[in-house]
Amino acid sequence: MTSGSDQTPIPGQIARILKGRDAGKYCVIVRVVDDRFVEVADGDKRKFDRAKRKNIHHLELQSFVSEEVKNSIDETGKVTNGKLRFAIAKFLDEESSDQRKGESIDGERGRH
């Protein structure tokens, strides 16, 4: 498991939270505070206007960047919570379809 310390986080990037009460959940980076902290939101429990400040060492940065979120933040400085939810759902959907590619045959259950 790698923390994202070797990458520079960018707004719109998906990250998995490694530490804290939300550990294991996914979020979207909505603002880079400095070289150590970012603000994250998921559009659901953590809304954009109440983004959580996180140490980047407590996040696992994913390679997925939502262009919709990135463009919205670049153009207006904000993003809707719906776009954040959509970005995470799209990322999770792509993740699960990547994992399913090798699982075309379901395991059969034992018969009684």
At 36-92, the pLDDT tens digits run 999 999 999 999 999 999 999 999 999 999 999 999 999 999 999 999 999 999 999
Yes or no: say if 53 and 33 are a contact pair by the CB < 8 Å rule.
yes
> 93 by DSSP, 3-state: which?
helix
DSSP calls for 5-24 = GGS---TTEEEEE-SSTTTT
Q: At the top level of CATH, which class does the domain 4-98 belong to? A: mainly beta
pTM of structure: 0.83
Dist CA 26 CA 41 (whole Å): 9
In this structure, the number of other CB atoms found within 10 A of the CB of residue 12 comes to 23
Res. 3 pLDDT band, cuts 50 70 90: very low
For 2-16, 83-97, 98-112, which range has the lowest pLDDT when averaged over its residues?
98-112
